[in-house]
């Protein structure tokens, strides 16, 4: 192999790993942070543990929750008090740019069909700063046999 070809191969390796894969690394870290946040908040109902994943703001688009980290804290307290056995199973995790998207099966009372939910989180510097969701009760009957997940 010509000397310049060897240098090129080594250089290309570092270029690929240092630059092109950096975005993928951030998205993987964002996915990990959002899943850890979700487990702490929604399943363990532990706002203190969840809050380490929050940034300086938490802009809330769920129409039933008050804005900000404090609104989210009150939502977790509501869950802990009214639905202590509520459990959400994350079915899929996606990331694109600064966003992480979760497809979730949420059951507030064990034994009930529960809700299908998609949560969208925006992150800045690896911290969660904004949240949107869409929630739909899972119906008893369906026009196909594929389930909602």
Interface residue list for a copy of itself (CB under 8 A): 3-4, 7-8, 11-12, 15-16, 19-21, 27, 59-67, 71, 92, 94-97, 99, 101, 103, 116-118, 120, 132, 134-136, 138-139, 141-149
Q: Which is nearer to a copy of itself, 44 or 92 (CB)?
A: 92
Quote the least distance from Cβ 50 to a copy of itself, whole Å. 19
Quote the least distance from Cβ 62 to a copy of itself, whole Å. 8
Q: Which two tokens stand for residue 141?
A: 């009957």
- CB distance 58 to 69 below 8 Å: yes
Q: Which is nearer to a copy of itself, 125 or 144 (CB)?
A: 144
Quote the least distance from Cβ 58 to a copy of itself, whole Å. 11
Write the CA distances from 115 to 43, 83, 105, 106, integer angstroms: 15, 14, 6, 5
DSSP 110: T
Closest of 43, 40, 33, 41 to residue 73, by C-alpha: 41
């Amino acid at each position: 192999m010509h000397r310049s070809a060897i240098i090129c191969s080594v250089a290309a390796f570092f270029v690929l790993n240092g630059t092109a894969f950096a975005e993928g690394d951030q998205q993987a870290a964002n996915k990990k942070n959002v899943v850890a946040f979700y487990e702490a908040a929604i399943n363990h109902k532990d706002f203190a543990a969840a809050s380490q994943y929050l940034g300086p703001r938490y802009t809330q688009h769920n129409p039933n929750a008050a804005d900000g980290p404090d609104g989210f804290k009150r939502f977790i307290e509501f869950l802990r008090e009214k639905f202590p056995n509520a459990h959400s199973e994350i079915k899929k995790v996606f990331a694109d740019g600064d966003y992480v998207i979760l497809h979730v099966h949420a059951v507030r009372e064990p034994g009930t069909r529960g809700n299908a939910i998609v949560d969208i989180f925006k992150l800045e510097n690896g911290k969660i700063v904004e949240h949107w969701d869409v929630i739909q009760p899972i119906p008893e009957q369906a026009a196909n046999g594929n389930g909602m997940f």
